[in-house]
Every structure is written in C-alpha cells, then in structure tokens.
C-alpha cells in the first residue's frame, strides 16, 4: 500500500504552506518522500546561486521522509510537522552532522547530540534537509573570506539577505524548504525575514530552548522559526516550545495552542506605532515608508486601533553614521555579552577568528580551552545556558 499520488505537480510543491502540505500528508494525499524529493531537486537547481545551504543532507532527508511515510501509513501520524522538510541555521548542533557556525573555527566540529530544537522537530517527525548559511558565528555581517560564500537574496541576487539567519530566510524565500530554524540576538530572525519577504518570529525569552546552539550572547539569544505564513510559524512554534532543563533560562509554563489562537479577529487590538524611528530619527526611502503606511492601513481595515507612540530617539546621520551615547552603551553591552560568552568556549586563536567587531578587554580564564573541548564533545555548555 502506498500513499495516493498528489494532483499537484512536483514543480509546484515548494509553494505549499505547511498548513496545506500537512493536511495533504495527513489525508495520505501527499507523500513526504515526494515532497522532500521535490525540494531537494529545486535546491539542486537554485542553490548554486542562492547559497542558502552550507551542507545539504539529501540522504538523511530521504531516509527521514521514508520513515515518516511508513509511520503515517500505519496510522501513527504525529502532527502537523510530520513529514515536513525544514533547514537549520548552522549554529544548531546536529548529531553526526558538521555544525560549523559558518566559521573556520568550527570547520571540523561534528556534535554527538542534537540541539533541543532539532531534537523536538525530529520527535515531531520533521525532515531535516541540511544546514544553512549564517554570518560567522551569528555575528557581524556577510564575509567573503570563509570556506562557504554568503547567502544571496532570492528576489535579487545583488541584494542583501539581512542576518544573521541569512540562509534560513533565503532558503524559505527561495522555496527550498517550508521552514527554517534561526536564532535572534539583535534582530537575526526578524531582519532577514523582513528583507527576504518571509515570516520570522522571535519567541518570548525562555519559550524555546537554546541548548545545543552556538551561543552569541546568553542574555539576548533566542531561537525561532522562519516560514512563508503566520500560521506556519505557529505550527513550527508548537513543536519547538516547552521547558528544557538543559537551558537554565527555559521557562516552565504550559504551552498554549498557537494555531487555534489565530482567529483572524483583531478588532479593538491596540498597536503602538513608532513613526519617529523611520520618519525623523533614521529616515527610510519613500518606497519603504509607503510600504509601512500600507501595512498600517491593512491593520486599521481589520479593526485594529493604531496609536502613535515614542521611545528614546535614535540619532544616526547619513554623513557620520554616529549613534547617540545611550544607544552606543546598549550596543556595547550586547557585544560585551557576546564576546564574554565566546571567550568561555573558544581559545584565544579561535575567538579572534570568530569576532567581527572591535575587541573589548576581557580575561580568558585558564579553563577556556578545556571548556571548548567539553562543549564540542558533549554539547553541554553549562557555563552559558
């Protein structure tokens, strides 16, 4: 007995939402193997230009897809992520698969355990297509002197993807996968989602475990999904959320039904609009301002209440690119957290290879190298998370 052949052409399967694909898979109208193979074929055609992948894992993906199909055929359907292909930013540890952080420092690093987010998606029956590009160690910007090229924006290869979850956004926007895992310390899910035209979610701190993720800044780091639609983001978040004792910042609270909460009714919901950020503080091009105004109009047409609000202004002149001192202190604090965290894990040589911001003064303790070895061997960075 086999799954019924889908009436959707293989060349169009990439355009399915997770919600639609999962319903077809549940009804045995779409084979996870067929879906996975279609995305692998599309990646083989397009990724040489997009560079979303650092490492594709087609054999593993097809193996997991076949396993999902066997389980579904005998009635063991695990839920909406069962048989759904996704990619993982290459800062998520994957057992037996290289996890490089897009850096020479990690080029030979093969974890023995999965990051909790990867493990949860595996338990949900999702199919891992491969590891995705990022800014080096999820920090700084795109680099051209690394073993792998930076990801390109699928809408225009000459345009920036945003970062640091660059490959995650490019992969979803290019139709190479239905979902991707990203991390967000200072916008690294939200910025590439915006620039590549996808949905990106930075979950509430502590909602999604960061265990097994190469750390950037322990008080700022988040892990979240990138997808085509808000509903798809809710589906992936459902599989990711929940307490994890391996992450000391993980919240112990019930996980609600995120998808059920998407009623579409936002009448009376109040939105604060920070117009001064893009109108006066750092004026954006007219086309961007028009897009924002259009988005505000959509919310109002749905019954939302929009109110202008203000926060501490950002000062950035086009000539000097100078920031006001308050903002600089905030930025320096996050960089200090990032560098201090990396210092616990890398030796001095590895640290200098990874950092792409001006160094600040700190002292490596005597156990830095042993900490790196312990973390890379067991994926248990107890001093960080």
Catalytic residues: 89, 164, 188
Residue found under tokens 């945003």? 162
Q: Whole-angstrom Cα distance, residue 207 to residue 209?
A: 7
- H or E element, residue 270: strand 270-273
Provide the CA 148 distance to its chain's centre, in angstroms: 19
The answer to whether 364 and 165 are in contact (CB under 8 A) is no
Q: Within a 10 A sphere around the Cβ of 362, how many other Cβ atoms? A: 12
Rounded Cα gap, residues 115 and 209, in angstroms: 8
Q: Where are the beta strands (DSSP E) in 299-345?
A: 305-308
Residue 164, preceding bond cis, omega within 30 degrees?
yes
CB distance 127 to 152 below 8 Å: no
CA distance 335 to 105: 19
Torsion 161-167-169-170 (CA) sign? positive
Q: Which residues contact 69 (CB under 8 A, 6 or more apart)?
A: 3, 31, 32, 33, 83
Instruction: For the chain, list the strands marked E by DSSP.
Output: 53-56, 85-89, 127-132, 179-184, 199-200, 222-227, 270-273, 305-308
d(CA 17, CA 28): 16
Whole-number Å distance between alpha carbons of 257 and 206: 17
């Amino acid at each position: 007995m086999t799954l019924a052949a889908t009436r959707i052409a293989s060349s169009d399967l990439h355009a399915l939402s997770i919600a639609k694909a999962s319903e077809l898979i549940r009804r045995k109208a779409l084979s996870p193997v067929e879906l996975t193979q279609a995305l692998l074929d599309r990646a083989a055609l397009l990724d040489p230009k997009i560079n979303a992948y650092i490492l594709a894992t087609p054999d593993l993906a097809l193996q997991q897809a076949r396993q999902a199909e066997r389980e579904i055929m005998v009635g063991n359907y695990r839920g909406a992520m069962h048989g759904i292909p996704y990619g993982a930013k290459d800062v998520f540890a994957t057992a037996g698969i290289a996890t490089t952080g897009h850096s020479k420092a990690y080029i030979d690093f093969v974890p023995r355990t999965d990051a909790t987010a990867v493990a949860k998606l595996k338990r949900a029956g999702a199919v891992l297509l491969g590891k995705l590009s990022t800014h080096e160690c999820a920090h700084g910007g795109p680099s051209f002197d690394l073993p792998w090229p930076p990801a390109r924006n699928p809408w225009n290869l000459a345009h920036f993807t945003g970062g640091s979850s660059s490959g995650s956004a490019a992969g979803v926007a290019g139709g190479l996968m239905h979902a991707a895992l990203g991390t967000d310390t200072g916008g690294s899910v939200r910025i590439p989602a915006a620039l590549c035209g996808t949905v990106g979610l930075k979950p509430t701190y502590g909602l999604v475990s960061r265990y097994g993720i190469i750390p950037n800044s322990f008080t700022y780091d988040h892990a979240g999904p990138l997808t085509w639609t808000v509903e798809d983001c809710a589906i992936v978040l459902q599989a990711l959320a929940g307490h994890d004792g391996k992450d000391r910042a993980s919240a112990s609270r019930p996980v609600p039904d995120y998808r059920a909460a998407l009623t579409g009714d936002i009448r009376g919901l109040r939105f604060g609009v920070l117009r001064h950020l893009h109108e006066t503080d750092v004026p954006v091009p007219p086309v961007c301002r028009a897009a924002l105004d259009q988005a505000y109009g959509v919310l109002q047409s749905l019954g939302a209440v929009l109110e202008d609000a203000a926060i501490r202004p950002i000062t950035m002149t086009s000539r000097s690119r100078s920031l006001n001192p308050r903002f600089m202190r905030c930025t320096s604090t996050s960089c200090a957290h990032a560098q201090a965290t990396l210092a616990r894990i890398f030796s001095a040589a590895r640290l200098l290879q990874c950092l792409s911001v001006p160094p600040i003064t700190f002292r490596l303790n005597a156990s830095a190298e042993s900490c790196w070895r312990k973390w890379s061997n067991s994926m248990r960075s107890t001093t960080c998370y």
